Amino acid sequence: MVTQANQVKLDRYFNIVKIFLFVAPVLGYLYAANGATMAGITLPELLAQNPSITITFLMTMVAPYIAFLLGLLQKKLLAQDYPGAVLNLILLFIAQLFTQNLFYIMLLGYLLYKTTTVYNLNIRENLKTIKPKYLFMECGGSFIVIVLYLICFYASLQIR
């Protein structure tokens, strides 16, 4: 049974992560604009000339969508749809691994840890209860994020 105090703490953690994810595009824009100013060119010219900054810029623009998915995930937890929520959180964590951004990896990893401990969830047991034919319906948004981050990850590997 989840106590009210634990639920409030978990909601606070979710809100903190969502705030960081909503701020990420602003920071990405400032980073790119700063790079353009230092090079003496406009932002579109910088994005056209420097593919690594373009990839970073694109990855940061997906962050608010992840925050939106975390809001949906919170609703799933409140509706006691634990298997779908756990799978979505795992997939979002995996997507963050492709970004190679340690800060967001740690944030989502901690959120996954706290969610499983507060709700006393066994990840393997919850994953076994998900029916394969409903998998894309449950986790479609997370799959989209993974595909986008995989494309960016592959492009960043090709640049190096």
b/e for 11-23, b at 16 or more Cβ within 10 A? eebbeebbeebee
Q: Mind listing the pLDDT tens digit for each residue in 2-53?
A: 888 999 999 999 999 999 999 999 999 998 999 899 999 999 999 999 899 9
Task: Assign 123 a pLDDT band (cuts: 50, 70, 90).
Answer: confident
pLDDT value for 135: 82
pLDDT value for 136: 84
Please check the confidence at residue 129 and state whether its pLDDT lies above 90. Answer: no
Please check the confidence at residue 1 and state whether its pLDDT lies above 80. Answer: no
pLDDT value for 147: 96
pLDDT value for 99: 92
Task: Assign 68 a pLDDT band (cuts: 50, 70, 90).
Answer: very high
Helix axes 63-78, 82-99, angle to 10 degrees: 160
* CB within 8 Å of 69: residues ≥ 6 apart: 88, 92, 141, 142, 145
